[in-house]
Amino acid sequence: MKLLNISEYKRQGSGNRGQESEVRSQKNKQIGFSSRLLTSGFRVLATVCCILLVSCAAPRPAEMPSHKGVTLDEALAQYRKISTVNTVVALEYEKNGTIMSGDASLAVSPDKLALRIYYLGFLQGEVYEENGNIRSKPKIDKNKSLILVDGLKNSLFWWNITDYEVLDRNDSYELRNGQRKVLVNKESLLPVEQTIQLEDGDIISINYGTPARIAPEDAKDIAGDSPLSWYPSAVKIQLRNYIVRINVKSYSITR
C-alpha cells in the first residue's frame, strides 16, 4: 500500500480548493446574470406600463361642428325633413340611486317609438308607442312611460316644437312655447338642453352631450356641411327621481 506524502496531499487539497473556487465563481456569475435579467425585465415591464397608461389616457376632444353660415330657420327646415331616427345606445335607468343598465335599439318618428332593451345580448324589455297608445313587455308604470316615451321621443325629435318664439341668447337660441323650451347652440345648431312641462306641473329635463359626426356609411346622402351630419353623443333625461342616460353607439336618419 502506497502512502500519500504530505506534499502530494497539499497539492491535491489545493487542486480541490481551486475547483471549488471555480464552481463558486460560475455560480456567482449565474446569479449575477439572473439578477441583471430580472432587473432588465422589471425595466421592460415598467416601460410597457407607462405606454399603456399613456395610451389609455382620456381621448382628445372631438372636433366641434361649425355652421355659422346656416341660419336657425334653414337648419330647422333640414331637421324637419327627417322621418325616422334609428340609433343603438348604451342605456342606464336610475331610480332612487339604483341603476339598471343595458344596450338598446331605438327607432323614433314623430308618431311612433320602438325601444328594445338588451342585457348581455338577451332581450329584457320592449316599449312601443304609436299615436299616444303605449304597450310594453313587461308592463311599465306611468313615470317610466313618460320618461322612456315622451322623454326619448322629444330628446331626439327636439325640433318638433310648435307655436314657438325664438329668443336670442349669448351663444344659443331659445325656442319656447307654453310647455317646452329648447336651447340650441348657435355654432353647432344642435340642442344643449330642453325642458318639458307636463300637465300635472312636473318637469322633464333633458341635457345633451358633446356632438359626434354620423358615420360615413350612414351619411351618404347628407351634404358634408349640413347640420344633419351631427348628433348629440349622449343624453340625460330626468323626471323627479327617475333618470335615463343614453350614450349613442350608432346613429342614422331617414328622410
Per-residue confidence of the chain (255 residues) as pLDDT tens digits? 333 343 443 444 445 445 555 545 555 545 454 445 444 444 534 443 333 333 333 334 457 788 888 999 999 999 999 999 999 999 999 999 899 999 999 999 999 999 999 999 999 999 999 999 999 999 999 999 999 999 999 999 999 999 999 999 999 999 999 999 999 999 999 999 999 999 999 999 999 999 999 998 887 778 777 899 999 999 999 999 999 999 999 999 999
Q: Are residues 52 and 86 in the same domain?
A: no
Closest CA to 198 of 143, 243, 135: 143
Global pTM reads 0.74
Same domain flag for 139 and 175: yes
Cα separation values, 71 from 100, 157, 164, 166, 185, Å: 40, 19, 17, 13, 12
Residue 216, pLDDT score: 85
CATH number of the domain encompassing residue 147: 2.50.20.10
Residue 221 inside a domain? The answer is yes
Residue 243 belongs to some domain of the structure: yes
Do 185 and 80 share a structural domain?
Answer: yes
pLDDT of the residue at 115: 98
Bridge partners of residue 236, in order along the sequence: 207, 245
Running DSSP on this structure, what letter comes out for residue 200? T
Query: Do residues 123 and 51 both lie within one domain?
Result: no
Residue 67 lies in a domain: no
Q: Which domain holds residue 120?
A: 72-254
State whether 36 and 122 are in the same domain: no
**Of 182, 190, 181, residue with least CA distance to 227:** 190
Alpha helices in the chain (DSSP H): 6-55, 72-79, 142-145, 152-156
Same domain, 47 and 124: no
* 242 residue type, one letter: Y
Residue 45 lies in a domain: yes
Instruction: Identify whether 8 is part of a domain.
Output: yes
Eight-class DSSP state of 60: P
132 and 34 within one domain: no
**44 and 88 housed in the same domain:** no
Task: Say if 63 falls within a structural domain.
Answer: no
Q: What local confidence, expressed as pLDDT, does residue 62 receive? A: 56
Whether 89 is in a domain gets the answer yes
Please report whether residue 64 resides in a domain: no
Residues 253/82, Cβ–Cβ less than 8 Å: yes
Helix or strand holding residue 167 (H, E): strand 165-168
Residue-level pLDDT at 152: 97
Backbone torsions φ then ψ of 173, nearest 5 degrees: -100, 140
Looking up cell 456569475 gives: 29
Query: Do 214 and 155 belong to one domain?
Result: yes
Task: Give me the number of domains the chain comprises.
Answer: 2
pLDDT value at residue 24: 54
Task: State whether 9 and 80 are in the same domain.
Answer: no
pLDDT at 19: 52
Regarding whether 9 and 133 lie in a shared domain, the answer is no
**Residues 185 and 236 reside in one and the same domain:** yes
Are the CB atoms for 175 and 161 separated by under 8 Å?
A: yes
